[in-house]
């Protein structure tokens, strides 16, 4: 499947970098993908899921959140709320380019961000989360206690997240504590698919149960058996993509020809962002 650059501006006017997986042949709709915490658009799971969905006729935009990868902005100055705004900006750019985000997909904290963003994305027909936490403050349990204490005292510090050092600002941590995901999920009013592995060591499966209980019907849950949190196995990522494609089919527009149109849109976007 062809991959095209797709850039857009966030609410602060900073340029965010995305990659658009363009379907060949019949097109069934477009999806917006939110990557896991600090992972970026080049994360293997994001790439594999996006390309497998494109092979099934669902185009996918994956992009770097503010301050990550090839996107502008500063990660220490970012927050979960900013991630939510970035997703809504991405959906707006897709709408303006003639590729409305019919399907919203989020992995890990990206899944929580997508649940929070969905209410502001009018084009969304259905939502999918993969290994998502119910409470975004869950991320605080993954920060090393010493680094978190330094951050609280200094306002910004290097903090280890699952063994990986990151520069994090206090505003990011404070923001994590200020979200009522339960209320957002109850108000979602869109079909919801939850995908979660029962032995996930990073975000335990109780989170999927809490999301499922809070959500209204139609809602579905599929266990991912032995998959790890990051879907590091190619077969697991492709299995997830195939599950999403099958589940989302009733909610997507009628299939259309037009890969050339999609290529033209992506090319126009890339040229416009260079000007």
* Average pLDDT of the residues of the chain: 90
Residue-by-residue DSSP string for 180-243:
-HHHHHHT--S-EEEEE-TT-SSS-THHHHHHHHHSPSSEEEEE-TT--TT--SHHHHHHHHHH
* Interval 232-256: pLDDT, tens: 999 999 999 999 999 999 999 988 7
Superfamily of domain 3-135+179-274: Alpha/Beta hydrolase fold, catalytic domain (3.40.50.1820)
Cα-based torsion angle of the residue sequence 139, 145, 146, 150 in order, rounded to the nearest 10 degrees: 50
The rounded percent of the chain whose pLDDT value lies above 70 is 91
**Within 10 A of 171 (CB to CB), how many other CB atoms are there?**
16
Mean pLDDT is lowest, of 88-97, 148-157, 181-190, 265-274, for 265-274
* Interval 85-139: pLDDT, tens: 999 999 999 999 999 999 999 999 999 999 999 999 999 999 999 999 999 988 8
* Interval 170-196: pLDDT, tens: 788 889 888 999 999 999 999 999 999
How far apart are the C-alpha atoms of 180 and 183, rounded to whole Å? Answer: 6
pLDDT at 275 over 70: no
Secondary structure letter of residue 64 according to DSSP: P
Task: Give the phi and the psi of residue 213 in degrees, each rounded to 5.
Answer: -65, -40
**Within 10 A of 33 (CB to CB), how many other CB atoms are there?**
31
Place of tokens 């266990």: 223
Q: How far is residue 102 from each of residues 16, 118, 126, 262, measured CA to CA in Å? A: 21, 11, 7, 15
Q: What is the pTM of this model?
A: 0.91
CA–CA–CA angle 201, 204, 210 (5° rounding)? 170
Residue 50 · residue 275 · CB < 8 Å: no
Specify the pLDDT at position 42.
97
Which residue has better confidence, 265 or 192? 192
Confidence of residue 38 (pLDDT cuts 50, 70, 90): confident
pLDDT at 165 over 80: no
Domain boundaries, the chain: 3-135+179-274, 136-178
């Amino acid at each position: 499947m062809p991959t095209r650059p797709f850039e857009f501006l966030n609410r602060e006017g900073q340029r965010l970098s995305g990659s658009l997986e363009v379907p060949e042949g019949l097109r069934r709709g477009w999806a917006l993908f939110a990557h896991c915490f600090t992972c970026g658009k080049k994360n293997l799971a994001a790439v594999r899921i996006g390309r497998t969905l494109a092979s099934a006729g669902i185009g996918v935009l994956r992009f770097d959140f503010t301050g990550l990868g090839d996107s502008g902005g500063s990660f220490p100055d970012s927050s979960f709320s900013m991630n939510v705004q970035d997703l809504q900006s991405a959906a707006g750019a897709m709408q303006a380019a003639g590729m409305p985000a019919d399907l919203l997909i989020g992995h890990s904290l990206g899944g929580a961000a997508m649940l929070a963003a969905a209410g502001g994305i009018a084009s969304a027909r259905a939502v999918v989360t993969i290994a998502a936490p119910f409470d975004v403050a869950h991320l605080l349990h993954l920060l090393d206690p010493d680094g978190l204490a330094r951050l609280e005292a200094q306002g910004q510090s290097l903090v280890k997240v699952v063994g990986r050092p990151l520069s994090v600002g206090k505003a990011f941590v404070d923001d994590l504590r200020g979200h009522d995901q339960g209320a957002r999920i109850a108000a979602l009013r869109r079909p919801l698919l939850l995908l979660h592995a029962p032995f996930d060591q990073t975000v335990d499966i109780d989170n999927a149960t809490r999301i499922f209980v809070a959500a209204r019907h139609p809602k579905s849950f599929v266990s991912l058996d032995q998959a790890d949190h990051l879907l590091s196995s190619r077969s697991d990522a492709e299995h997830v993509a195939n599950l999403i494609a099958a589940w989302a089919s009733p909610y997507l527009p009628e299939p259309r020809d037009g890969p050339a149109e999609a290529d033209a849109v992506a090319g126009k976007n890339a040229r416009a962002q260079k000007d």
